[in-house]
A = this chain, B = another copy of it.
């Protein structure tokens, strides 16, 4: 009685949402987020464009949903990287690499979470909750990942093996350092980078050397 049976009237009902997300992910990865229109998504998904808005309030919400899903994968990967983890610089570097590899594997999700332009909305914010717009949920997912860094750094900090005596400061600059490489490789792939593998290795080594004793 209370149970609301999942209706599947015309399309596959609940599966529609997945179809939309699949279509959007494919298009986003292919042409970038802002270059994809809702009409294109709808066409791939096999529905009319307004039908999207039965499942997502805005186009950005579609990107946000894809983003949180991708970050769930990152969280999983980093958790795996810390199984049987002993705080050695080698393992430290391994975790940093997981972060970088994830960003390069999911550039669109990464862009939505950390690189997209937010609507600043000065004093004229007409939104109900200006902080929880597009960057809200993805940013929350990003914070969860950041928490892992804090945890990692704290381990070394407790052993007195960090350079900074402020674990939070060390975590934030470490994260920023990682983000820099990922963001630049995503945003400017045509830059004459050196060999990518060497680049990543050098970067991770620099960060580790700069953060740990």
Residues on A lying within 8 angstroms of B by beta carbon are 30-35, 111, 114-120, 122, 131, 135, 139, 143, 163-164, 166, 168-170, 172-181, 183-184, 187-188, 190-191, 193-194, 198-199, 202-203, 205-211
Is the Cβ of B180 less than 8 Å from the Cβ of A181? yes
Q: Complex: how many Å from CA A115 to CA B187?
A: 6
From B32, B172, B181, B206, contact of A207 by CB (8 A):
B206
Is the Cβ of B31 less than 8 Å from the Cβ of A114? no
Interface of A is mostly: helix
From B35, B176, B203, contact of A184 by CB (8 A):
B176
Could you write out 20 A-B pairs with CB less than 8 Å apart?
A31-B119, A31-B120, A32-B118, A35-B117, A115-B117, A115-B183, A115-B187, A135-B188, A164-B206, A166-B198, A168-B194, A169-B198, A173-B202, A174-B206, A176-B184, A176-B203, A177-B180, A177-B181, A179-B183, A180-B180
Q: Complex: how many Å from CA A117 to CA B186?
A: 9
Number of copies: 2
A35 and B163 in contact, given A131-B190, A206-B177, A210-B210 (Cβ under 8 angstroms): no
By a CB distance below 8 angstroms, the chain B residues around A178 are 180
Closest chain-B Cβ to A175's Cβ sits at a distance in Å of 8
In the complex, what residue of chain B is closest to A168 when comparing beta carbons? B194
Q: Complex: how many Å from CA A178 to CA B179?
A: 10
By a CB distance below 8 angstroms, the chain B residues around A211 are 206, 210
Is the Cβ of B169 less than 8 Å from the Cβ of A176? no
Is the Cβ of B163 less than 8 Å from the Cβ of A206? yes
In the complex, what residue of chain B is closest to A35 when comparing beta carbons? B119
Closest chain-B Cβ to A82's Cβ sits at a distance in Å of 22
Residue with the greatest number of chain B CB neighbours at <10 A, chosen from A168, A178, A179: A179
By a CB distance below 8 angstroms, the chain B residues around A168 are 194
In the complex, what residue of chain B is closest to A119 when comparing beta carbons? B35
By a CB distance below 8 angstroms, the chain B residues around A117 are 32-35, 111, 115, 187
Is the Cβ of A173 less than 8 Å from the Cβ of B199? yes
Closest chain-B Cβ to A134's Cβ sits at a distance in Å of 11
